[in-house]
Structure 1
Amino acid sequence: MKITDITSDQLRLDLDPPLRAAWDPEPRRHFDATIVRVHTDEGITGIGSGDTMAGLESVAPLFVGEDPCAIVRHVKAIESANFHGAYYWPLEAALWDIIGTVAGLPVSALFGNAASSLPAYASSAELKAPAERVETALHAREVGFRAMKIRIDGDRTAEGVATVAAVREALGPDFDIMVDLNQSWRMAGDTAEATDLAATRRLVRRLAELDVFWVEEPLPYADLDGFRTLRAENPGVRIAGGEMHHSMPELLRYLENDVLDVYQPDVVLAVGMHRARTLAELAQLKHRRFTPHSWTNGIGVLANLHVAAGVGGGPYFEFPFDPPGWTPERRDFMLAEPLTIGADGHLHVPQRPGLGIELDTEAVERWRIR
């Protein structure tokens, strides 16, 4: 089998009302998704999505004519291309989609087959006042979630702590709460300084008192000493991070220096599926956890799910969910059916060969801009 072509579609869904994501400097009035397809001479086409894939046309010749199943070669080629351009990890996801199809197995089975589903947590996007966030947490529990991630603005930490406290009081000790401080990286154009270490130490100590399950991305990635300080001072709360850490050597340095409790690199944004598997297995051998970031679209969610379920990640899997601003229907607008959790609160791995992606061809045509 040989790769004959690599094509992409750029889609844009208008958002009305807009999504007011905590990490965005401005309200998000549209949602972009790039779908990449890898075509073969045997009629099998793999699908991936995640990053923008800018400049794909110049990268495609590196793969055309090659065996799509030569995944180690392709991962190294993607890493070399990433150095000069965008991040092309959705291309690797499309290749794994082909490999799973050829094998007649879901990709998670090729990655270890540790689990057929993972318990999902509702990953919120917007900053909400305490009463409103309590209402959304109660709704999430009704849907089946047993955990939720809440965002805290570094400039409004008192309100953020009050929100977490209100959710804890309303939902009790059996509902797990994660907190994301969004301090490790910035969106383009966001020049705000990260919260300083002293303020972050006070904040994490207060969150630990509220029995928060983990605190995510509390400091810039470069501050390894700061991360270790937070862990040492707060043994009752886990420290999580790494969702957009593009450097595998740096992630390995995190492991060697025992920087985090929970490692979260996104397989379609940060390090790819093959490398994330390696990191996950090493983390688990050190008694640390792997639970990837999954804030792209349904295709990206599936790619991350197959890796996490394959290696036995957890203890939760991230499921972007914050209605009405962010719903499965918005997130997965290019799919025939949006991904949903089961009554057991788990996100189940599709058992079709490959990644289990089924596109809505009418939606792709409707929202295509390139």
Structure 2
Amino acid sequence: MTRITDVQARTVSIALDDPTSFSNRQVLKRDYSLVRVTGDDGISGIGFCYAGSNAGEVVTRAVRDLLKPVLLGQDTHRVEGLWQEMYQEGLLHGRTGSVMRALSILDVALWERNARAANLPLHRFLGATDEESVAAYASGGYYLDGKTPQKLADEMTGYVDQGFKAVKMKVGREDLAGEEARLAAVREAIGPDVLLMMDANNAWRDLPTALAFMRMAEPYSPYWIEEPFSPDDIDNHRRLAERTPIPVATGEIEAGRWRFKELLDKEAAMILQTDAAVCGGITEFRRIAATAASYGVDICPHWFHDLHVHLVGSTPNAPYVEFFADDKVLNFRKLIDTQLSFRDGRLMLPQTPGLGFGFDEAALDRYATGPWG
């Protein structure tokens, strides 16, 4: 039996090279909370999450002050039991948000540590569905000052030229005419056979506004509309899903299997975008994916391709990884020592133990708000 001897956490904050806009907000920097869990065999595992644009230390403090005492001295392989004990410990502090993110990254670190100890890549340790690679879509299309529809189309074409057969762009910031100009330019540039995802980032507050956008977008054959409303507005997700042929996708900041079951029961989404660094870790991700499979619903996880490549590679109803080709938006890429490789629109599954990468300690020292602790 291997016992947990140390749990450490650290916050890093990285400014974006260019201020980047969504439908209704702008991001200037990103905070990440990082953890490292070590067993008495000397093997460590890592976990990480996006901790917001400010106050990322809240997640790190939840690790150090609330959940670390639950883990110390425990069997590293008692993952399910430790999940339940961490969940119970955090119950009064937050069943979603920062506390659940703290639980999530500790759960990821446990799975990653145990995979390293078994000398297996994480996707194989979890029970692989794919041997060499998984399909990915290239995520981008953000709003930037001076970014014309043609420049957006050039960006999307660049991903297609790299071999990606699916791409995603942001929508919902401009008026209908402006949004149609962007969609039309992209569809013309990438052709009819490339899948085109749309991400609204909670752009709309009411059903008529969303429906007007969807009617405009339908001729451009989008593959899905992502997060059309606030994540708490499940009923409007359901109403929109009933009224448009374009699949509704959501769930990237949802936590816990119960909330996802509500989405499924209400038929509010045809695609769940469960994020293992948000929903409750790998343990909860697997529960959610299995539940979704019984409804005939796919999981296309959000963000962190370095983590989710392993989960898509071990989940039968997970067809795509979201992939960021550079560090302009997902600047977490600056913190790790190995990047994923891709070929013909597919990400190559790591073949080294655990996640297949580690933190770049020099980069952490450059961006950290404080030391490991």
Q: Give the alignment's TM-score, normalised by structure 2.
A: 0.87
Q: Does the CA contact (< 8 Å) of 1:100 and 1:110 recur in 2?
A: yes
CA distance in 1, matches of 2:68, 2:300: 30
From 301, 307, 312, the equivalent of 1:308 is 312
Number of equivalenced pairs: 349
Q: Compute the displacement of 1:51 (Å).
A: 4.1
1:281-317 Cα deviation digits (max 9, x unpaired): 22123221101111xxxxx433222222111344321
Choose which of 309, 325, 330 in structure 1 pairs with 2:328: 325
1:244–1:266 CA contact under 8 A, matched in 2: yes
Partner of 2:273: 264
Cα offset, 1:278, TM superposition: 1.5
Aligned residue number for residue 156 of structure 1: 175
Q: CA deviation at 1:20?
A: 1.0
Correspondence for 2:288: 279
Secondary structure of the structure 1 residue equivalent to 2:134? strand
Alignment gaps of 5+ in structure 1: 185-193, 295-299
In 1, the alpha carbon distance for the partners of 2:129 and 2:191 equals: 31
Q: Is the 8 A contact 1:129 1:159 kept in 2?
A: no
What amino acid is aligned across from residue 150 of structure 1 in structure 2?
A: M
The match for 2:109 is: 94
Inter-CA distance 221–354: structure 2 relative to 1 (3 Å threshold): same
Whether 2:76 is the aligned partner of 1:57: answer no
Q: Look up the match of 2:87.
A: 79
Aligned partner of 2:239 among 197, 212, 229:
229
Is the CA contact (8 Å cut-off) linking 1:96 and 1:355 kept in structure 2? Answer: no
1:1-370 matches, within 5 Å, as 1-15=2-16, 17-22=17-22, 25-28=25-28, 30-52=29-51, 53-55=59-61, 56-58=63-65, 59-83=67-91, 84=93, 86=98, 87-88=101-102, 89-116=104-131, 117-124=133-140, 126-127=142-143, 128-183=147-202, 194-235=204-245, 237-294=246-303, 300-321=304-325, 325-326=328-329, 330-340=331-341, 342-370=342-370
The 1-side partners of 2:202 and 2:31 are apart by 24
| Segment of structure 1 superposing worse, 65-74 or 357-366 | 357-366
Moved more, 203-212 or 6-15: 6-15
Question: Identity percentage over the alignment?
Answer: 27
Over 3 Å counting, the alpha-carbon distance change for 1:23 and 1:102 in structure 2 is farther
Q: Partner of 1:332: helix, strand, or coil? A: helix
SS at match of 1:54: helix
Report the AA paired with residue 338 of structure 1.
Q
Q: Supply the distance in 1 between the matched residues of 2:277 and 2:226 (Cα, whole angstroms).
A: 19
Q: Residues 324 and 276 of structure 1: is their aligned pair in 2 closer, same or farther, counting only changes over 3 Å? A: closer
Deviation string 1:132-171 (CA, Å, 9 cap, x unpaired) is 1001011111222211111113453431222111111121
* Residue segments in structure 2 that go unaligned for 5+ positions in a row: 52-58
Q: Distance in 1 between matches of 2:165 and 2:77?
A: 38
CA drift at 1:224 = 3.3
Quote the RMSD (CA, aligned, Å).
2.2
TM-score by length of 1: 0.87
Distance 1:269 1:114 in 2: 23
Does the 8 A contact of 1:111 with 1:277 survive in 2? no
